[in-house]
Chains A and B, each alone.
Chain A
Amino acid sequence: MIKTDVIIIGGGATGCGLARDFGLRGINCCLIEKDDFAAGATGACHGLLHSGGRYVVNDPEAAHECITENTILRRIGKKCVEETEGLFVRLPGDSKVYRDRFLKCCSEVGIVTTVLSPSKARELVPNLNPALEEAILVPDASVDPFRLCMLNAISAQKCGSEILIHHKVVEFIKEKGRLTGIKAQNQFTGEIKEVYGRVIVNATGAWGGKIAKLAGHDVPMSLSKGSLVITNHRLTNLVVNRLRPPSDGDIIVPNEAVCLAGTTSIACADPDEIGVEAREVDVVSHEATQMLPAFGQTRLIRTYTGVRPLLKGGGGDGRSISRGFQIINHGDGLYSILGGKLTTYRLMAEKMADTVMHEVFERDVACRTAELELEGQELLSGYPLSKRLKDLSDIVCECELVTRQDIEGVVQRIGTSYVGDIQHRTRLGMGPCQGGFCSYRAMGVIQEMGQTSVEDSMRSLKDFLQRRFKGVRPALWGDQLREEQLVENIYLSLLNMEQE
């Protein structure tokens, strides 16, 4: 049994940010996440630290929040932000009227812009469509959502908070009409933990409705999935946006050695029952190819989809619904925080913590998350080649140069036996084969460390391979299909893993 001040459900940016925020105000938390950090919409987005340009015409308030938070995150989270800058690209046929409004709104909101000629723009991004009319430089950046969550969680842990990943909330504990705790189930062992707290915050994004329902509340949400694809090359060093009203497939974000392109927007009912459809991949790759013609010849190594946790109200598609957020006090010890976006996660956490401090703890302690740097950044010295090459003979993942020691380090630090956890923390299996070769090896290393039985190893490996396949499957054609058949041959023919 665990006793704490605040129980936070959800290990996305909002939940992790909230744990840090409370910690810095001297409040203890226990954060419960059913998967790994950033497993929901936090990790299933572009990883774009918005300048605000994307929203500036339709929602200046959201744009203002973006540029403010963008500046703060660059300062406090240097190791998880790559200061790429971004371009809004106008192609032949794109409205000049929209362009003028865009510049005017940016200037009103305080987003610094520079208009670039086609040749200047192509100096920055040589892969840009040569037919472009012009490009507008904005302070977009690329953010690593997983690292962002992890660093917030580390900060919270240093303040004495507890973090339980791979634990799913299965029941709320109710005493005299008030929710006083939760029961969380370990997703690997099935073991149940009871956690008690003075207040519970539901920060589960698209799962917000499901968690609220478990507590007996109805939360109106409008779910819309957005699908993205990952290329096997870094085709641009700057974020590339299409200069037009938000639409399908109009953002490409560089991230490490690859690019992330998307998205789509399709209404959906259940965040646990979503996947990428072939037609979504076709739309995204078609649109991305308009901006970067080389995109059309580039291998897509994976697809993924996230669910935008938007509030119900207003009509139209997922994009026209407000991206602002809302805090709901359910009146029985449970709060829900809904909506929002990755770029403004810190602000959301601040407002949520302000509310709880005021209403529950009746102490108004100032928020400090904007002034202090995220802790644990020394762990993320990046992945310099020199470090990766330190012992070539022990490389387990050849694509991302992850060594046996890297894997052993993660296993010792967090005690996991799941390949996915290793992947998130080391980039193992993020290259062209998507772990086809190295997940077997990584599991072997874990197995040799005596962390798991062979049955659990096989279950874990199968689960990883199935999740992997779900992401790979929608983009299987050409060379990626060739590679996939080789991987299939390893597990279904050579290893005969089905025998299990």
Chain B
Amino acid sequence: MSTVSYDAVIVGGGLAGLTAALRLARSGRKVAVIAKGDPACCLSTGCIDILSGPSGALAALETLPAEHPYRLAGSAKLAEALNFFMETMSSAGLTYHGTATANRKIMTPIGTAKTTGLVPESMRAAWPVAGEPINLVSFTRLKDFFPSYIQARHSNVNLNVFDAGVTSTLAIATRLEEDAFRGHFIDWLASLKLPDGNLYLPAVLGLEEHATVLGEIKATVKREVCEIPTLPPSLPGQRLFRRLKRTLQEQGVDFYWGKEIASIERQKGGAIEAVTLKKSGRSARVEGRAFILASGAFVSGGLYAEQSGNVIETVFNLPAHAPHDRETWFKPGFFERGHGIEAAGVRVDEAFKPLETDYPNLWACGSVLAFSEITKHQCGHGLAIVTGYAAAKSCEEFLA
């Protein structure tokens, strides 16, 4: 068995884990990320929902309950973390726009407005005022996108449909990265002689070459080009994840991808010394001075809800908070926010160290944290970034 030693080992490759890893790597630490697979972030809109509220996320912060992870981090760290993210993405070539002091609205596939905090370049346009002309482009037989929903809600929609020969968002995005096909699409767009009004289309504008695809289209149509995030898997979410992961690789972070933890070694004082990874053939032992748990909630498998009513933290078996009776996990209404199960997770202190347990070198961040209530507060990616950053900061103090 081979052993590799790190200053910090991050368990989980989602937005929280990657943020924590980057923060530590930037201060010169040797960092590893262990992940079971691509994170739930790839299924997301790619927007950073910080916290819903009419006057922006910061103003809404004090309405949160005291145990909410944002309250534990505090508003200063929240702002610092979001700046860190914006700077990172900007230098990674996937610029984000927005602030914690004002929320924005983006177009959804049913023509409604989704409130969010930070958006990528392709979603930066302001929400159309009533009657503002909308140039909408759709693709033949794209099954997750029905322009009639948007036409029915907005009075001035000019719809054009392009036949890309393929019917999934990923397939269209891949074709748009081919020069010849992209040229053909851009010629078609130019031939439309679009009337005034921004150009809206489902989020298909490339994956790795997104900046090129977006840039060339913008240069042709000479107006804002707005992507509408589609049902999972969603390209803007994948772009975010891939850019961030590449940035980490460039920073020298080691990845153990597609790996699960088989066993944990602890020292006498309770500190984690190393984890062993499940692997065919020789198993790998990953040693760390510090560990950060960023394994996500139920969708990602960091938490598991049992029929008996128990909620399990799946990596370190930390005590997990959850409403005990399964009857109380979900409210009766599908459209009700604040289901009991949303508060489940690992309770931490203000340094993001797990409570009621004795792991002196373990921190936790992201949606595995108790009281996050992400759907209720619409705070998913923001929570990942802020708590990932905050946990890394505490971890850094420990390592120093």
Query: In the bound complex, do residue B113 and residue A492 qualify as a contact, i.e. CB atoms below 8 Å apart?
Result: no
Does B306 lie at the interface of the complex (its beta carbon under 8 Å from any beta carbon of A)?
A: yes
Count how many pairs of residues, one from A and one from B, have CB atoms less than 8 Å apart in the complex.
126
Q: Report chain B residues within 8 Å CB of A231.
A: none
Query: In the bound complex, do residue A481 and residue B112 qualify as a contact, i.e. CB atoms below 8 Å apart?
Result: no
Q: Smallest CB–CB gap between B390 and chain A, Å?
A: 23
Which one of A450, A454, A488, A491 lies within 8 Å of B149 (CB-CB)?
A454
Query: In the bound complex, do residue A494 and residue B229 qualify as a contact, i.e. CB atoms below 8 Å apart?
Result: yes
Q: Smallest CB–CB gap between B227 and chain A, Å?
A: 13
Q: Which of A105-113, A184-192, A336-344, A470-478 binds B?
A: A470-478
Which one of B112, B152, B337 lies within 8 Å of A499 (CB-CB)?
B112
Cα distance A440–B326 in the bound complex, in angstroms: 28
Q: Report chain A residues within 8 Å CB of B334.
A: 465-466, 468-469, 488, 491
Residue-wise interface mask of A (449-488) relative to B, using a CB-CB cutoff of 8 A (1 in contact, 0 not):
0100110011000100110111001001110011001101
Q: Report chain A residues within 8 Å CB of B337.
A: 492, 498
Residue-wise interface mask of B (134-170) relative to A, using a CB-CB cutoff of 8 A (1 in contact, 0 not):
0000000101111011001100000000000001000
Q: Report chain A residues within 8 Å CB of B330.
A: 473, 476
Within 8 A of A (CB), among B295-336: 297-299, 301, 304-307, 325-327, 329-330, 332-335
Tell me the nearest residue of chain B to A469, going by C-beta: B334
Q: Report chain B residues within 8 Å CB of A495.
A: 108-110, 112, 114
Query: In the bound complex, do residue B153 and residue A492 qualify as a contact, i.e. CB atoms below 8 Å apart?
Result: no
Tell me the nearest residue of chain B to A458, going by C-beta: B110
Query: In the bound complex, do residue B110 and residue A477 qualify as a contact, i.e. CB atoms below 8 Å apart?
Result: no
Cα distance A489–B374 in the bound complex, in angstroms: 10
Q: Report chain A residues within 8 Å CB of B232.
A: 486, 489-490, 494
Query: In the bound complex, do residue B114 and residue A496 qualify as a contact, i.e. CB atoms below 8 Å apart?
Result: yes
Q: Report chain A residues within 8 Å CB of B43.
A: 486, 489
Does B375 lie at the interface of the complex (its beta carbon under 8 Å from any beta carbon of A)?
A: yes
Tell me the nearest residue of chain B to A475, going by C-beta: B307
- Most chain A C-beta atoms within 10 Å of own C-beta, residue among B111, B167, B229, B334: B334
Q: Smallest CB–CB gap between A279 and chain B, Å?
A: 8
Cα distance A471–B304 in the bound complex, in angstroms: 21
Query: In the bound complex, do residue B148 and residue A441 qualify as a contact, i.e. CB atoms below 8 Å apart?
Result: no
Tell me the nearest residue of chain B to A286, going by C-beta: B307
Query: In the bound complex, do residue B115 and residue A496 qualify as a contact, i.e. CB atoms below 8 Å apart?
Result: yes
Interface size class of A (residues with CB under 8 A): 35 or more
- Most chain A C-beta atoms within 10 Å of own C-beta, residue among B108, B115, B148: B148
Does A348 lie at the interface of the complex (its beta carbon under 8 Å from any beta carbon of B)?
A: no
Query: In the bound complex, do residue B148 and residue A477 qualify as a contact, i.e. CB atoms below 8 Å apart?
Result: no
- Most chain B C-beta atoms within 10 Å of own C-beta, residue among A394, A476, A491, A493: A493
Query: In the bound complex, do residue B110 and residue A497 qualify as a contact, i.e. CB atoms below 8 Å apart?
Result: yes
Q: Report chain A residues within 8 Å CB of B148.
A: 444, 447-448, 450, 454
Does A277 lie at the interface of the complex (its beta carbon under 8 Å from any beta carbon of B)?
A: yes
Q: Report chain B residues within 8 Å CB of A454.
A: 111, 148-149, 152-153
Does A347 lie at the interface of the complex (its beta carbon under 8 Å from any beta carbon of B)?
A: no
Q: Report chain B residues within 8 Å CB of A13.
A: none
Within 8 A of A (CB), among B186-244: 229, 231-232, 234
Query: In the bound complex, do residue A437 and residue B298 qualify as a contact, i.e. CB atoms below 8 Å apart?
Result: no
Query: In the bound complex, do residue A482 and residue B299 qualify as a contact, i.e. CB atoms below 8 Å apart?
Result: yes
Query: In the bound complex, do residue A497 and residue B335 qualify as a contact, i.e. CB atoms below 8 Å apart?
Result: yes
Q: Report chain A residues within 8 Å CB of B111.
A: 454
Does B380 lie at the interface of the complex (its beta carbon under 8 Å from any beta carbon of A)?
A: yes
Q: Smallest CB–CB gap between B108 and chain A, Å?
A: 5
Does A171 lie at the interface of the complex (its beta carbon under 8 Å from any beta carbon of B)?
A: no
Does A285 lie at the interface of the complex (its beta carbon under 8 Å from any beta carbon of B)?
A: yes
| Given A454-B153, A477-B307, CB of A466 within 8 Å of CB of B45 | no
Q: Smallest CB–CB gap between A457 and chain B, Å?
A: 7
Query: In the bound complex, do residue B299 and residue A496 qualify as a contact, i.e. CB atoms below 8 Å apart?
Result: no
Q: Report chain B residues within 8 Å CB of A440.
A: 110, 144, 231
| Given A444-B148, A447-B149, A495-B112, CB of A393 within 8 Å of CB of B335 | no
| Given A282-B307, A444-B149, A477-B305, CB of A437 within 8 Å of CB of B231 | yes
Cα distance A278–B332 in the bound complex, in angstroms: 12
Which one of B114, B146, B307, B332 lies within 8 Å of A493 (CB-CB)?
B114
Q: Smallest CB–CB gap between A407 and chain B, Å?
A: 11
Does A396 lie at the interface of the complex (its beta carbon under 8 Å from any beta carbon of B)?
A: yes
Within 8 A of B (CB), among A161-209: none
Q: Smallest CB–CB gap between B130 and chain A, Å?
A: 15
Q: Report chain B residues within 8 Å CB of A497.
A: 110, 112, 335
Cα distance A225–B153 in the bound complex, in angstroms: 43
Tell me the nearest residue of chain A to B367, going by C-beta: A485
Cα distance A473–B49 in the bound complex, in angstroms: 26
Query: In the bound complex, do residue A476 and residue B146 qualify as a contact, i.e. CB atoms below 8 Å apart?
Result: no
Residue-wise interface mask of A (121-141) relative to B, using a CB-CB cutoff of 8 A (1 in contact, 0 not):
000000000000000000000
Q: Smallest CB–CB gap between A422 and chain B, Å?
A: 15
Q: Report chain B residues within 8 Å CB of A462.
A: 335
Cα distance A481–B299 in the bound complex, in angstroms: 8
Residue-wise interface mask of A (35-79) relative to B, using a CB-CB cutoff of 8 A (1 in contact, 0 not):
000000000000000000000000000000000000000000000
Does B8 lie at the interface of the complex (its beta carbon under 8 Å from any beta carbon of A)?
A: no
Q: Smallest CB–CB gap between B210 and chain A, Å?
A: 19
Q: Smallest CB–CB gap between B280 and chain A, Å?
A: 24
| Given A393-B167, A496-B108, CB of A488 within 8 Å of CB of B114 | no
Cα distance A35–B23 in the bound complex, in angstroms: 57
Residue-wise interface mask of B (262-278) relative to A, using a CB-CB cutoff of 8 A (1 in contact, 0 not):
00000000000000000
Tell me the nearest residue of chain A to B105, going by C-beta: A496
Query: In the bound complex, do residue A478 and residue B304 qualify as a contact, i.e. CB atoms below 8 Å apart?
Result: yes
Tell me the nearest residue of chain A to B143, going by C-beta: A441
Cα distance A481–B143 in the bound complex, in angstroms: 25
Q: Report chain A residues within 8 Å CB of B306.
A: 477-478
Tell me the nearest residue of chain A to B334, going by C-beta: A469
Does B122 lie at the interface of the complex (its beta carbon under 8 Å from any beta carbon of A)?
A: no
Q: Report chain A residues within 8 Å CB of B305.
A: 476-478, 481
Cα distance A493–B341 in the bound complex, in angstroms: 17
- Contacts A453-B152, A491-B334, A494-B109 given; 7 further ones with Cβ under 8 A? A278-B327, A462-B335, A486-B43, A491-B335, A493-B45, A496-B114, A499-B113
User: Closest 7 A-B residue pairs measured CB to CB?
Assistant: A444-B146, A454-B152, A469-B334, A499-B112, A496-B114, A477-B305, A278-B326
- A contacts, CB < 8 Å to B: 275, 277-278, 282, 285, 393-396, 404, 437, 440-441, 444-445, 447-448, 450, 453-454, 457-458, 462, 465-466, 468-470, 473, 476-478, 481-482, 485-486, 488-500
CB<8 Å pairs between A and B, sample of 20: A275-B332, A285-B307, A394-B143, A395-B143, A440-B144, A440-B231, A444-B148, A466-B333, A466-B335, A476-B305, A477-B305, A478-B305, A481-B329, A482-B299, A485-B297, A486-B43, A491-B334, A492-B375, A495-B108, A498-B335
